[in-house]
């Protein structure tokens, strides 16, 4: 016999047992195998968890970020995420792509959060995943008539071929990966005899990955300065709202 404390509230598990009860029941727990064995009048029995769902839920939790949030496993292979404001929502790893998991509006003000229907917001987001560009491959086939940019180069400047700079193997591998993505998405194309050549520059980001930049110093010198800078982003958003 064992004494249990009954709590009326949502939780990830139905029963939580301590070491004394587990020892009295001769339970053998294997966290690696996600299984538990115990003795019964008819012999040894075993209860196994579902490795696939557990790993998917764990990866899902890592994708949405655990900082300031509480993550619980719930029934049906879902993961329940609670932020520091106490707002909870469930994510089903079988219905969502782990690489595209996010926790929307976690950084919004409390007043804004209280005015939003969290469940409806999540449903609308899931139903319109194709609207968001998660990687280069989601933006393939953009026609030049939609957006096109031309450089205002002063014709009096002579084209500049920068001297090729050596690159470490780690940076070269990161650059090759980025170039392959852009080529596959048709963002760039190979030029055999370019009139302007600029070296790529790789900068380390905070997450340890590499950001690919281009040394356009010579090209910027050849472009005359514009006395009318771009308008503020908030003004652009306000002007285009409703269209």
Sequence ranges of the domains in the chain: 1-49, 57-131, 138-243
Q: What distance in Å separates the CA atoms of residue 144 and residue 156, rounded to the nearest whole number?
A: 28
Token digits for 215?
Answer: 């040394």
How far CA 209 is from CA of 178, 182, 233, in Å, comes to 11, 17, 28
Give pTM, 2 decimals. 0.45
User: Is the distance from CB of 94 to CB of 77 less than 8 angstroms?
Assistant: yes
CATH number of 138-243: 3.10.10.10
How far CA 93 is from CA of 35, 61, 105, 106, 191, in Å, comes to 21, 10, 20, 20, 43
The vertex-121 CA angle with 120 and 127, nearest 5°, equals 85
pLDDT at 224: 84
pLDDT at 226: 76
pLDDT at 184: 85
Q: What distance in Å separates the CA atoms of residue 72 and residue 16, rounded to the nearest whole number?
A: 14
User: Is the distance from CB of 74 to CB of 12 less than 8 angstroms?
Assistant: yes
pLDDT at 182: 87
Token digits for 126?
Answer: 């899931």
Which residue from 53, 58, 165, 44 is spatially nearest to 101, judged by alpha carbons?
58
Which residue from 12, 73, 126 is spatially nearest to 118, judged by alpha carbons?
126
Token digits for 166?
Answer: 């050596």
SS3 content of the chain, % helix, strand, coil (to 5): 30, 15, 50
CB atoms within 10 A of CB 74: 17
Per-residue pLDDT tens listing for the chain (243 residues) = 788 888 887 665 678 888 888 888 888 888 888 888 988 888 889 988 877 777 776 676 665 555 445 555 555 555 555 555 555 555 554 455 555 555 555 555 555 555 556 667 777 777 777 777 777 777 766 677 877 788 888 989 999 999 999 999 999 999 999 999 888 887 888 888 888 899 999 999 988 889 999 999 999 999 988 777 777 888 888 888 888
pLDDT at 107: 53
Q: What distance in Å separates the CA atoms of residue 158 and residue 160, rounded to the nearest whole number?
A: 6
pLDDT at 135: 74
Question: What is the tally of helices (H) and strands (E) in the chain?
Answer: 7, 8
């Amino acid at each position: 016999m064992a004494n249990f404390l009954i709590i009326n509230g949502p939780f990830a598990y139905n029963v939580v047992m301590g070491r004394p009860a587990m020892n009295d029941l001769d339970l053998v727990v294997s966290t690696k195998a996600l299984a538990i064995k115990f003795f019964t009048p008819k012999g040894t029995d075993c209860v196994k968890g579902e490795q696939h769902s557990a790993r998917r839920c764990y990866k899902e939790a890592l994708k949405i970020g655990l900082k300031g949030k509480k993550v619980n496993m719930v029934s049906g292979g879902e993961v329940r995420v609670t932020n520091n404001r106490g707002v909870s929502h469930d994510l089903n790893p079988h219905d969502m792509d782990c690489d595209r998991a996010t926790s929307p509006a976690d950084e919004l003000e409390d007043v804004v959060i209280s005015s939003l229907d969290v469940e409806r917001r999540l449903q609308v987001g899931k139903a319109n995943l194709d609207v968001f560009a998660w990687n280069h491959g989601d933006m393939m086939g953009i026609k030049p008539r939609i957006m096109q940019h031309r450089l205002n180069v002063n014709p009096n400047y002579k084209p500049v071929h920068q001297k090729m700079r050596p690159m470490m193997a780690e940076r070269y591998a990161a650059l090759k990966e980025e170039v392959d993505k852009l080529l596959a998405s048709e963002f760039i194309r190979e030029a055999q005899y370019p009139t302007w050549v600029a070296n790529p520059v790789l900068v380390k980001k905070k997450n340890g990955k590499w950001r690919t930049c281009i040394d356009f110093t010579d090209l910027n010198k050849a472009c005359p300065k514009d006395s009318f800078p771009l308008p503020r982003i908030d003004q652009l958003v306000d002007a285009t709202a409703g269209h």
